[in-house]
Each structure stands twice: as C-alpha cells, then as structure tokens.
Amino acid sequence: MASLKEIKTRISSTKKTKQITKAMEMVSAAKLNKAQNRAESFQPYTDKIREVVTSIAAGTEGVSHPMLEDRPEIKKTGYIVITSDRGLCGAYNSGLLRETMRLINKRHSSPDEYGIVVIGRVGRDFFKKRNMPIYQEITGLPDQPEYTDIKSIAATTVEMFEDELFDEVYLHYNHFVSAISQVVTEAKLLPLTDLGEEVENTEDSGESSEPVGNLDYIYEPDAGTILEQLLPHYAESLIFGALLDGKASEFGARMSAMRSATDNADNMIDDLTLSYNRARQAAITQEINEIVGGAAAQS
C-alpha cells in the first residue's frame, strides 16, 4: 500500500494535470469557434465558383475539359489526407488513418497503383513509418490557415492529375458535424464529375432552388478559356474547404478529449483523496493502539 506522502504527491500531480487539460479545453473551444466560422464563411465562395463552372460546362455546346471527364483506365489513384500536426485529440487522426488504410488495401494491390499527398505531421509520420508512397507533404500549418498556405500543394496536386500522373484523386478528412461529432469523409476531388448536381440555395427567400445549369452568364473571351482558368481554381478551393472543415473537427475533437481528461482527473483525485483519508485514519488508529498498548504494558 502506498504511503501517505506518495498518495499526497499523486494528488498534487493530478491536480496540476487537471489544470493543464482544463486550459487546453478552453483554448480549443476558442479556436473551434473561429475555425467553424471560417469554414462556414468559405463555403458560399466555393458554391459560387461551382455554379459558374456548371453553367458554362452544361450550357455551352461542344465545350469540355479533361478535369470533367472520367478516364477509361485508372492506372494510379491519388489520396489527399488531412491530419493534424499534434496529438491529444482523441480518435481524430487514428480513425481517419485507419479508414484510409482500409480503402487503400481494398482497392490496390501494389504501391505503384496509388500515391499520397499528406497534410499534417501525424499523417506524414504514419505513412513514412509504413514506407507508403508520399508524393507531397506539408506540416506546420497555422491553426487558422490561409489559402496561400496550401496554394502550392493544391496546385501541384491538380497539375499531377492534368499531367496524368494520377487518373483520379480523393480527399480524406474529418467532416465537422458538431463539437462532439466528426465524421471520417472521402470525397472524390478529380475528375469533377458531380457538377451537374444542384447547389443548395442558402438564402431564406422562400423561393425554390433551381439547377445551376439553367443560369445564364455573359462571359468572354470564350467558354473554353474560362473553364481552363476556373476548374483548377475550383479544385484548389475544394481542398482548402476540406482543410478548414478538418481544422474545425480537430479543435472539436481536442476540446472533447481534454474535457474527458479533466473529468478523469477529477475522478482520480476523488479516489486518491479517499485512499489518503483511509490511510491517514489507519495510521491514526495504529498510533492510538500503540499508545494504549504502551500504557497498558507499563501499568
């Protein structure tokens, strides 16, 4: 059984740990609020680009682009995996990486059939440890990243698709649902084959939304040139949007993990305090018995 001094030291140590986890929970909550607002504010921008691209692609006869067409043979698949640079965020990274590994193992029999573009130190270390083909990596992103922070890696990924190094590209990230819920998500980034779907009307105007292909735009010089410029930018915006979504999920997961750690520290302190009181009572009882026994021996 631990001595009174050892139990007291453990109580003190646990209280200090609780202070740290409580502070980290509060910091993550503040960062979550900012990240969630940024992710929500960026979505209309992506939707508008998609609306314009869809209108041009669907409304102009004879206009097409390689980024809009499925390739007859898939020789190599690219995966953009968005993880965090730090741990202490529960299953945020492990759940995502486990699902990525499952899909890669299911779809591919050789490393020659896929390549990985990884964002975040945790994912980078995970794939490197397993000698998996990493084509690009980026670490050390700020908590509130800017578009310029990932512009290079996003543009290069799009170029690899255009150069036919990859025949299709998937995004793997955690989609933010709530502060306590994140969903591991796979989204097909390239080719852009889902542009024909309707875009939700986010304005509360009472009017029903209509397919974006029915909208008319006046553009110049020509549809092909505009698609050539807009499509890579649209694909890059999808990557950045997924990163913002992933950041919100990361802070939500870290806040929940730190809250659980704080609650566990409270429970541990209660248990240790109870053990300390019992040990102290046992020591007092033993001292009383020794005093009574000594007095009896002298009488």
User: Which residues are marked as active site?
Assistant: 89
3 state DSSP class of 200:
coil
Closest CA to 233 of 192, 187, 202, 188: 192
**Cα distances (Å, whole numbers) of residue 188 to 13, 73, 83, 242, 253:** 48, 16, 18, 12, 24
* Amino acid in position 101: M
**Cα distances (Å, whole numbers) of residue 284 to 3, 189, 272, 281:** 13, 70, 18, 5
Give the Cα separation of 142 and 213 in Å (integer). Answer: 37
Provide the token pair at 72.
């007859």
Give the Cα separation of 83 and 44 in Å (integer). Answer: 24
Other beta carbons less than 10 A from residue 37's beta carbon: 13
* Amino acid in position 184: V
Closest CA to 157 of 226, 224, 79, 83: 79
Beta bridge partners of 190: 169
Give the Cα separation of 211 and 198 in Å (integer). Answer: 5
> What secondary structure letter does DSSP report for 139?
-
Ramachandran angles phi, psi of 112, nearest 5°: -70, -10
Give the Cα separation of 70 and 93 in Å (integer). Answer: 31
**Residue written as token pair 């939707």:** 47
3 state DSSP class of 188:
strand
Ramachandran angles phi, psi of 185, nearest 5°: -130, 140
